[in-house]
Amino acid sequence: MKIGILTKNAAWPLLAVGLLVLSAKIYGHPSPQSPPNIGVSGHLSVDKVERGRTVQAVVEMDIPSGFHVNSNRPLEKFLIATQLQIQAPLGVRVGTVVYPRPVLRNLKFSKNRVSVFEGHTIMRVNVTVPANFGPSSTELKAQLRYQSCNDDFCFPPQTREVTFPIAVVGTRTTGSRMKRALALFDMQTDIAGESEKPELANLSDIAGSSVAGSMEEFEAKASPHPAVLLPVLFL
């Protein structure tokens, strides 16, 4: 009788171990209903951005075979669109996001065709660093929101973040150079008098992105007295 009790008690630990092993076999492998592992990356079209120039920021998605993400216009109200939002520092201008051409698919969960992105997907946006931008480095922050699906159903939406470090180069063309040009213009106005006041079509020509030649353009437009410019230019 004692032996039977001991055998029955010893069976419980064995049963518990068996359940643990069975659970490990069931839950130890990823579920076939798991969302796909989509690669998201970003880069700029150049290594360094010159002040006053426009470059492209690119966000890329690598969508595994058998899956897709809804396009930015998925054609069904219950589907969540892919959206790329860019956060730029003060002064930096960001254009409209250009999405790739979508693919139209007939899927089991929709009676109508849906608009999707598949495979290697590229989104682009123009970024302009102004000519008077001060810092020598800055960064953009992008948020990419998308909903991935297979042929049978869609997964909950995800949001991924991408950072774009920007190295800013080039001479700042406003500030001191603009002040110098304005002072030169005032001097010519005083000398010429109101009757011969020089016309200056656009001061931005002096402080444009091209440093070389701007003062020569100013002389051609604003000065009927070239000799007066000599002491100013050599200050």
Q: What residue ranges do the domains of the chain occupy?
A: 1-30, 39-169, 176-233
Query: Which has more pLDDT, 25 or 198?
Result: 198
Model confidence band, residue 153 (pLDDT cutoffs 50, 70, 90): confident
83 token code pair? 């959206």
- The DSSP 8-state label assigned to residue 228 in this structure reads H
Four-CA torsion 134, 214, 185, 175, nearest 10 degrees: 0
Q: What is the pLDDT of residues 96-139, one digit of tens each?
A: 999 999 999 888 777 788 899 999 999 999 999 999 999 999 99
Q: Which CATH number fits domain 39-169: 3.20.20.80, 3.30.565.10, 2.60.40.1250, 2.115.10.20?
A: 2.60.40.1250
Angle, CA 127 vertex, CA 123 and CA 132 arms, to 5°: 175
Taking alpha carbons only, the member of 99, 100, 94 closest to residue 44 is 94
Counting Cα atoms < 13 Å in the Cβ hemisphere of 93 gives 10
Taking alpha carbons only, the member of 61, 80, 68 closest to residue 124 is 61
Distance CA(228)–CA(2), nearest Å, equals 122
- Mean pLDDT (the chain, rounded): 74
**Which range, 27-41, 60-74, 95-109, 179-193, has the best average confidence (pLDDT)?**
60-74
Distance CA(47)–CA(49), nearest Å, equals 7
Taking alpha carbons only, the member of 146, 174, 171 closest to residue 160 is 146
Taking alpha carbons only, the member of 139, 141, 174, 203 closest to residue 52 is 174
pTM score above 0.85: no
Distance CA(224)–CA(191), nearest Å, equals 10
Distance CA(141)–CA(96), nearest Å, equals 15
pLDDT at 210 over 60: no
Model confidence band, residue 85 (pLDDT cutoffs 50, 70, 90): very high
